[in-house]
């Protein structure tokens, strides 16, 4: 059974969670942490990067983005339907984000080699960060082992967290973030 099929099993009108399907207690998969506070310093990070055109970078830190806006989005896995749809949305709108002075960076538990393959396969022109143990995902309240949760954070040029989204809709998410970015820049 595919992972996406495991996430939701529909039986009549009942929807079962993966934890119910596998006979695990519901708390086992509900390990999301506390989201960082708005209008406060965004949590720091230093992670291995898979960059544009499949180039490998050493490490990338949050402070590398000081002076520009940062869209930091967490997602479960490369090459899954929802994550691919979300990545394509950010790629589609990448020129608009750049025009607004914002970098887009994705984070998941996948390794850099898988990120390089995903970037190449999808033609992604932005960086993906590898967080295999979920340490940074946890700092952002976006970890439910063994995956990052689908959360996004908008960080201003001073490193302050200005907006956040939890459990987003991959199909329209990039547009929602772009709209919020423009509103924040006008206020």
Both 17 and 68 in one domain: the answer is: no
Q: What is the pLDDT of residue 51?
A: 57
Percentage of residues in the chain having pLDDT higher than 90: 72
pLDDT band at 58 (very low <50, low <70, confident <90, very high): confident
Q: In this structure, are strands 69-74 and 151-155 parallel, antiparallel, or unpaired?
A: antiparallel
Q: Of the listed 49, 51, 71, 83, which one is catalytic?
A: 83
pLDDT, greater one: 187 or 1: 187
Both 92 and 172 in one domain: the answer is: yes
Both 73 and 125 in one domain: the answer is: yes
Structure tokens at 186: 């006008």
Both 90 and 160 in one domain: the answer is: yes
Q: What is the pTM of this model?
A: 0.80
Q: Is 83 a catalytic residue?
A: yes
Q: How many domains does the chain have?
A: 2
DSSP 159: S
Both 159 and 80 in one domain: the answer is: yes
Query: What pLDDT digit, counting tens, does each position of 155-165 carry?
Result: 999 999 999 99
Q: What is the CATH number of the domain that holds 70?
A: 3.40.30.10
Cα dihedral 60, 128, 102, 136, rounded to 10, equals -60
Q: How far apart are CA 105 and CA 45, in angstroms?
A: 12
Both 12 and 86 in one domain: the answer is: no
Which domain, by its residues, includes 38?
31-186
Both 21 and 78 in one domain: the answer is: no
Both 170 and 134 in one domain: the answer is: yes
Query: What pLDDT digit, counting tens, does each position of 85-117 carry?
Result: 999 999 999 999 999 999 999 999 999 989 999
- Bridge partner list, 143: 148
């Amino acid at each position: 059974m595919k992972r996406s099929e495991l996430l939701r099993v529909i039986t009549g009108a009942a929807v079962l969670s993966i934890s119910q399907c596998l006979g695990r207690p519901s708390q086992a998969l509900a390990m999301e942490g506390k989201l960082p506070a708005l209008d406060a310093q965004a949590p720091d990070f230093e992670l291995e990067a898979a960059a544009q055109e499949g180039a490998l970078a050493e490490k990338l830190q949050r402070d590398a983005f000081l002076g520009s806006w940062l869209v930091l989005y967490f997602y479960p896995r490369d090459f899954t339907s929802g994550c691919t749809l979300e990545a394509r949305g950010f790629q589609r709108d990448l020129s608009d984000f750049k025009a607004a002075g914002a970098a887009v960076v994705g984070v998941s538990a996948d390794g850099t080699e898988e990120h390089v393959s995903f970037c190449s396969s999808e033609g992604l022109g932005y960086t993906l960060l590898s967080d295999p143990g979920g340490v940074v995902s946890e700092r952002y309240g976006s970890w439910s082992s063994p995956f990052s949760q689908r959360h996004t954070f908008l960080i201003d040029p001073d490193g302050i967290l200005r907006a956040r989204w939890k459990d987003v809709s991959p199909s329209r998410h990039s547009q929602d973030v772009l709209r919020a970015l423009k509103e924040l820049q006008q206020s």
